[in-house]
Amino acid sequence: MPSKSDGLPLIERVLVLYRKSTYQAMALEKKDQRFLELIQTKDPSVSRMERAHQQHYRCLHIVQEALAKYQLEVTAAELSLIGSAGGHDLVVTVGGDGTFLSASHYLQDTPVLGVVSSDASVGHFCGATAARFPRMLKAVLEGEVKSASLQRLKVFLSDAPLRELALNEVLLCHRNPASTSRYLIRVNDVQEEQVSSGAWIATASGSTAAIGSAGGKLMPPLSRRIQFKIREPYRKHRDRYVLKSGFACPDQKLTFISKMEEGKIFVDGPHISYPFGLGERLSIGLSEHPLRVFGMAI
């Protein structure tokens, strides 16, 4: 029962993206002896992993079973095996926010519906659980659910755009977390040299994540402003820094120049990073391609 939804093209081709559970990878495939010993002794470090594994794959089965009831072309794949989500009308992620964030980097205009797959997963971006997915899917296909447009950051490194659009945040820092970060920061017409532990640059969606934990401000979820927050500014200079935190308007960019030989840029967590060497320039602004999300509570 393909249908138009929220002004989007006909939904006919659906891509389901998921990750292997830790239990699947470590216990069933690698048969890691240390991991198996921890499971056997019910060590608290792994106490929820077997249950999360069972819930995760049951959720994946429910998602695929629900999709099979409609005349849809469905492809299911592990996230690590996908290089692009092009050619699909809808992407469904099965996991939690980590899976959702990683999948979002492959999407330009394709809408996405996140399904939180276990009690152990965080699902801020996920619009459905396993139990709710069949009803949510029907509502999406029948055009009864509107998508929300979440802003993303477009990042330029030495004038070349990075492939990934950041849904939550970009972190600029030294590659060694124990080392000092040194850089020039420019916001609007103000530029200053800073020494700190790094800088967070976040969207409205990201304001509930790392930058919020660092003392940033919660933003309305559909805000188009960009927030920045300096991490642990050097005490000797802290009081004279002007650009310790603040916002840039949608048409403005934040610019950084590295004074580090071993700087790093991280996009939406630890898995995507780029070197940020001495003299390199980083420019961050809003992308012209917000992420369209179904079912997220706004």
Residue 228 sits in a domain whose CATH number is 2.60.200.30
Which residues span the domain enclosing 219?
153-288
Can you read off the two tokens belonging to residue 1? 């029962």
Say whether both 84 and 186 belong to one domain: no
Q: Please say which residue of 90, 122, 145 terminates a domain.
A: 145
Say whether both 106 and 189 belong to one domain: no
Residues 268, 84: Cα–Cα separation, whole Å: 18
Say whether both 230 and 279 belong to one domain: yes
Average pLDDT over residues 43-66: 96
Q: Which residue, among 211, 122, 198, has the nearest Cα to 166 in the 3D structure?
A: 211
The pLDDT score that the predictor gives to residue 297 is: 75
Q: Please say which residue of 125, 145, 165 terminates a domain.
A: 145
Residues 293, 16: Cα–Cα separation, whole Å: 15
Q: Please say which residue of 112, 145, 178 terminates a domain.
A: 145
pLDDT tens digits, residue range 97-109? 999 999 999 899 9
pLDDT tens digits, residue range 251-276? 999 999 999 999 999 999 999 999 99
155 burial via Cβ count (<10 Å: 0-12, 13-18, 19+): buried
Task: Please determine, for residue 9, whether its predicted confidence score (pLDDT) is greater than 90.
Answer: no
Q: What are phi and psi of 22, to 5 degrees?
A: -60, -40
Residues 169, 230: Cα–Cα separation, whole Å: 13
Say whether both 44 and 121 belong to one domain: yes
Task: Please determine, for residue 175, whether its predicted confidence score (pLDDT) is greater than 90.
Answer: yes
pLDDT tens digits, residue range 186-196? 999 999 999 99
Strands, E, within 69-144: which ranges? 73-78, 90-95, 112-116, 128-129
Lowest mean pLDDT among 65-69, 118-122, 162-166, 190-194: 118-122
Say whether both 141 and 159 belong to one domain: no
Q: Quick check: is 7 in a domain?
A: no
User: Is the pTM above the cut of 0.85?
Assistant: yes
Say whether both 140 and 181 belong to one domain: no
Q: Long-range contacts for 115-119 (Cβ within 8 Å, ≥24 apart)?
A: 115/59, 115/63, 117/18, 117/55, 117/56, 117/59, 117/60, 118/51, 118/52, 118/55, 118/56, 118/59, 119/48, 119/51, 119/52, 119/55
Is 276 within 8 Å of 255 (Cβ atoms)? no
Is 229 within 8 Å of 211 (Cβ atoms)? yes
Say whether both 137 and 250 belong to one domain: no
Q: Number of structural domains, the chain?
A: 2
Residues 167, 290: Cα–Cα separation, whole Å: 9
Say whether both 119 and 163 belong to one domain: no
Say whether both 39 and 104 belong to one domain: yes
Looking up residue 105, the CATH number of its domain turns out to be 3.40.50.10330
Out of 6-20, 111-125, 254-268, the most confident range is 254-268
Residues 79, 107: Cα–Cα separation, whole Å: 13
Say whether both 173 and 123 belong to one domain: no
Q: Quick check: is 1 in a domain?
A: no
Say whether both 104 and 32 belong to one domain: yes
Say whether both 141 and 160 belong to one domain: no
